[in-house]
Amino acid sequence: MEFVKKDILSIEELAREEIELILETADSMKEISQRDIKKVPTLRGKTIVHFFHEPSTRTKTSFEIAAKRLSADTVSISASTSSIVKGETLIDTAKNLEAMNPDVIVIRHQASGAPHMIAKKVRSSVVNAGDGMHAHPTQALLDMMTVREKKGTLSGLRVAIIGDIAHSRVARSNIVGFTKMGSTVVVAGPPTMIPTGIESFGVKVTYSIEDAARKADVIIMLRIQKERMGDSLFPSDREYANFFGLTHKAVSKAQKDVLIMHPGPINRGVEIPPEIADGPHSVILDQVENGVAVRMALLYLLIGGSRHASDD
């Protein structure tokens, strides 16, 4: 199957077959990261700009590593060190970056829709590295890669997503991705953190984490997105941890081989206790490792041509 997308903006825009192709390509890219010499010439001569308007550890670092492992040239800019602080608009910034002929612009922005707006204005491929409360497609792809790797399939699984659903772009992208791939998704959290109408995405809703965890093959815990809330939606972190933090009792209701996931950063002792985050069911660092492979796959499929990188 040929991959003909210009941009990666959301999981909604990817067909099931395209997601399968990305995950298969990521599987072969992972092998490159396990070699002594972790570099292939596939994207030699290509230029990738990483433009992050919000803090990031995992996404930014893994995009940069992915590009470098494929031999692309990379440049990173942040809002605080760019001329945005002098009043330049986002679109003017994007057009000026475009004038330097990058092949891909990877953008994270606090405003939902910012990557879509830029994608319409530039010839370069645009990859959404997280926009506001809207979408985080590469996180959903690396989450699906991790589950498929551990379970062999995504179809027929029960996936529980627990926490601050309302403010989470990870939740939104994972709901769309896992349901598209044939999983059943149940969401749980405080009523103030479950958006009304979420059932229209094809998910089940519960306000009890034990109900959500029951028979789950996968539990994805979410961080409370305090930076996206106006007023606090719960009395205190301790109160939140008591009612919606993951517990051993909830995990015991899940399948014996349940995977515990978290996109990071973790608030240890709030949404997840350290002994579960670091425990035998946790695949949190596998998610991080697979983030590099998924981002290598996307860069390759967008601008790499037909040659297979792992053949180099």
* 58 is a catalytic site residue: yes
| C-beta contacts of 233-239 below 8 A and 24+ residues apart | 233/190, 233/192, 233/193, 234/190, 234/192, 234/193, 237/267, 237/270
**Cβ atoms 266, 224 nearer than 8 A:** no
Name the active-site residue from 46, 50, 53, 108: 108
Q: Which residues contact 43 (CB under 8 A, 6 or more apart)?
A: 67, 70, 71, 72, 299, 300, 303, 304
Q: Phi then psi for 135, rounded to 5 degrees?
A: -150, 150
Q: Which residues contact 227 (CB under 8 A, 6 or more apart)?
A: none
- Within 10 A of 28 (CB to CB), how many other CB atoms are there? 16
Assess 174 for contact with ligand CP (CB under 6 A): no
Assess 130 for contact with ligand CP (CB under 6 A): yes
Instruction: Pick between residue 190 and residue 263 the one whose CB is nearest to ligand CP.
Output: 263
Assess 263 for contact with ligand CP (CB under 6 A): yes
Q: At closest approach, how far in Å is the CB of 136 from ligand CP? A: 6
Distance CA(143)–CA(137), nearest Å, equals 10
Name the active-site residue from 109, 136, 148, 253: 136
Site string for ligand CP, 13-52 (x = CB under 6 A): ----------------------------------------
Instruction: Pick between residue 130 and residue 189 the one whose CB is nearest to ligand CP.
Output: 130
Name the active-site residue from 58, 121, 214, 228: 58
**Nearest to 63, CA basis, from 136, 165, 161, 1:** 136
Among 35, 57, 88, 153, binds ligand CP (CB under 6 A): 57
* 136 is a catalytic site residue: yes
* 86 is a catalytic site residue: yes
Distance CA(198)–CA(166), nearest Å, equals 9
Assess 227 for contact with ligand CP (CB under 6 A): no
Question: Per CB under 6 A, which region of 19-27, 55-63, 171-179, 246-254 contacts ligand CP?
Answer: 55-63
Assess 56 for contact with ligand CP (CB under 6 A): yes
Q: What is the DSSP letter of 258?
A: P
Assess 264 for contact with ligand CP (CB under 6 A): yes
Query: How many residues interact with ligand CP (rule CB under 6 A)?
Result: 9
Among 10, 74, 124, 139, binds ligand CP (CB under 6 A): 139
Assess 82 for contact with ligand CP (CB under 6 A): no
Assess 113 for contact with ligand CP (CB under 6 A): no
Instruction: Pick between residue 140 and residue 301 the one whose CB is nearest to ligand CP.
Output: 140
Q: Which residues pair with 135 in a beta bridge?
A: 131
* 59 is a catalytic site residue: yes
Q: Radius of gyration over alpha carbons of the chain, in Å?
A: 19
Question: Per CB under 6 A, which region of 90-98, 159-167, 260-268, 274-282 contacts ligand CP?
Answer: 260-268
Assess 58 for contact with ligand CP (CB under 6 A): yes
Q: Phi then psi for 125, rounded to 5 degrees?
A: -70, 145
**Cβ atoms 165, 195 nearer than 8 A:** yes
Which residues of this protein are in contact with ligand CP, per CB under 6 A? 56-59, 130, 139, 263-265
Catalytic residues: 58-59, 86, 108, 136
